[in-house]
Each structure stands twice: as structure tokens, then as C-alpha cells.
A and B are shown apart, each in its own frame.
Chain A
Amino acid sequence: MRTWVSQVRKGLVELCVLGALDGGEAYGYEILQRLTRADNLAITESTVYPILARLAKEGVLAVRVSPSPSGPPRRYYHLTDAGRARLGEMHRYWRHLTAAVDDLLSGGKP
């Protein structure tokens, strides 16, 4: 069970990260805090930051570096057009998937 939960979470991190940025740009720790507010996701920084770096490399996210009052410059991430398109596709797929699974688990009852 634990392995299955872990794999499901892992597969959803990218969608969650993109979703967390749908409301506007944020820096790494801020994104992490948005994600940790969601119960049961159990996402930590060693998962989020590598994904942010990869999505930025892929052009799904854009990075803006800005001075921070508490230390080194912060890297603010925001969705690019490609990022919004990917989020839309993933979100649609997720809705279809959960609807299909719900349907299956309820035995086809409405």
C-alpha cells in the first residue's frame, strides 16, 4: 500500500507544482509551502526543487531572479504559455482519469 501511495504521489507532483503556480508566480520555498498546505500530498523540497529546475529547462516555467530580504536572491517561477498549455492538458487528463476510476470503483452505478 505504501509503495502504491508513494508512486501515485510521485506521478502527481508535476501537476501539483504547475497547479500551485496557476495563481501567480512564486519562489521555491513559497511553492513548497503552497503544496504542503494540501494534506496527504506529503511533498518535500527534494522532490519539488528538482522538478522546478527540470520544468524551467523544458521551457514550461520561466524564472525571474529577484533580491531577497532574508538572504540570497530568490528565483521566482511562473508558467509560460507552454506551461499553461501543459497544465490544461494534465488537468483535463486528471479529470477524465479520476472520473473513470470513480466510475469503475462504484461498479458503474451513477
Chain B
Amino acid sequence: MTSESVNPSPDARDRVDAYLDAIERVLVAADMPRAERKGIADDVEAQILEMLAPRPGADATVEDVEAVLAHLDPPEAYAEAGGVPPGPPATASPAAPPSRSEPTRPPQPRSKTTSVLLAVFLSFWSWLYTWRKDWPQFVVGAVLHCVVAPVLFVLGAFVELGSSGIQATLICVAILLQLVVWIAAIIDAVATPSGWYADYPNVGYWGWDYPE
């Protein structure tokens, strides 16, 4: 066994945590008691960090963690063992079916940097990049940016409303609305933790499967 210590980078730590969280969800769905779940999580975490330890370099990167996780069972594999003692095949309980919130495939990570750059240059369109989790934000952003703001602008610029003050206000509100949507997209991309991107599901919001 190695005696070197390993310090995962924050992003790499988030990826490890996302993997452990996914196992935890599977074990919870299988009704495994909390004490057993903790024991399993501790063993898995210790294994991951020991497998990372021999790698050269100061901090383990996300790529290092991904390389280790590629050698491990997917979190769903724990469903079969969760809370079900081994027994004869005829009486063995079937594995818990995946619930709507449980991805049936390993995560399909997204890049936080890409998401931030898309938000900076393309405003709310960046939410399409993380559509499977961000579709509500995209719909709201699209409606505000493409429908509400243009309508207000047209009313203010081209329709005679009897007061130039009201018309100017409408134009300002329209421009402000578009700016707010843009800034919200950037803040959302920046504030979202890396683990969220690492755990991006390879399954649709309502459980739809996407091509690999």
C-alpha cells in the first residue's frame, strides 16, 4: 500500500463527492440503514483516494479522479447489494427500480468554464448547454428576452400612448429586462458549484434517456 498523501483540487473533490452522493442516493432508495451507508461511503472514499495517491503531481485533478472512477462500478451497481442479504436466486429481491430523480447512467459532466463563457457572450442561450437541469431558467429567460422585452420596446417606440414619459419608461424597462436576463445567466453560471456540472445527468428531466 502507498504511504503518500493525496490532495484533490476543489473541482476534483467535488467530483468525488458527486460520485459518493450518487451511491448514497442509490443506497437510500434501497432502504439501507444510515450506519451501513456511511460505512460503505467511507470505504469507497478511502479506495478512491488511495487509488489517486500514486499519481504524480501536487494535486489530483478532475481528470485523475475521472480515470479512477472509470475503474469503479457505477453507483447503480450498489442497488443490488443495498439492504438485500444474499440468498437463493428464487427468493432474492429484485434491484430497486431507478426513481425519476435517479440517473440510470453515469453522469455526463459539463464544463463550468464553457457555461460561464456561453453566458457572457450569449446570455440566456447558455442554459441550453445545461438544458437537462436548466430548462426552467431557459424558458423564463427566453420569454422575457424574446417576447416581453420586445413587446415593451415596440409599445414604447412605435405606439402613441399619449405621454412621452410612459413611452420612454417602457423602452427603458425593455432594455433593463434584457440586461437583467443576461446578468442572471452569468451569475447563475458563476455561482453554480463545479460538482453540479460534474454530476450533470445523462438522462432527461423526466427520465427520458438520451443517446450515449
Interface contact A46-B73, CB-CB below 8 Å: yes
Interface contact B40-A50, CB-CB below 8 Å: yes
Knowing A13-B86, A47-B81 touch, does A70 contact B6 (C-beta < 8 A)?
Answer: yes
- Quick one: which of B21-56 are within 8 Å of A by CB? 27, 32-33, 35-37, 39-40, 42-50, 52-53
Give the chain B neighbours of A70 by CB distance below 8 A.
Answer: 1-6, 46, 49-50, 52-53
The yes or no answer to A25 lying at the interface (CB within 8 A) is no
Q: How many angstroms between the C-alpha atoms of A50 and B2 in the bound complex?
A: 24
Give the chain B neighbours of A44 by CB distance below 8 A.
Answer: 72-73, 77
Residue interface bits A20-36, CB-to-B below 8 A is 1, else 0:
00000001111010000
| Nearest CB on A from B127, distance (A) | 34
* CB nearest neighbor in A for B81: A50
How many contacting A-B pairs (Cβ < 8 A)? 102
Q: How many angstroms between the C-alpha atoms of A45 and B46 in the bound complex?
A: 12
Interface contact A46-B2, CB-CB below 8 Å: no
Q: How many angstroms between the C-alpha atoms of A52 and B60 in the bound complex?
A: 28
Q: How many angstroms between the C-alpha atoms of A58 and B35 in the bound complex?
A: 12
**Residue in A27, A29, A50, A74 whose CB lies within 8 Å of B82:** A50
Majority-rule SS of B interface residues: helix
Q: How many angstroms between the C-alpha atoms of A32 and B46 in the bound complex?
A: 12
| Nearest CB on A from B69, distance (A) | 11
Interface bracket on B? 35 or more
Majority-rule SS of A interface residues: helix
Give the chain A neighbours of B33 by CB distance below 8 A.
Answer: 57
Give the chain A neighbours of B44 by CB distance below 8 A.
Answer: 28, 45, 49
| Nearest CB on A from B142, distance (A) | 42
The yes or no answer to A87 lying at the interface (CB within 8 A) is no
Knowing A10-B86, A54-B36, A57-B33 touch, does A49 contact B77 (C-beta < 8 A)?
Answer: no
Pairs across A and B, CB under 8 Å, 16 listed: A11-B86, A49-B39, A50-B27, A51-B81, A51-B86, A52-B43, A63-B39, A70-B4, A70-B5, A70-B46, A70-B49, A71-B48, A71-B49, A72-B49, A74-B46, A75-B43
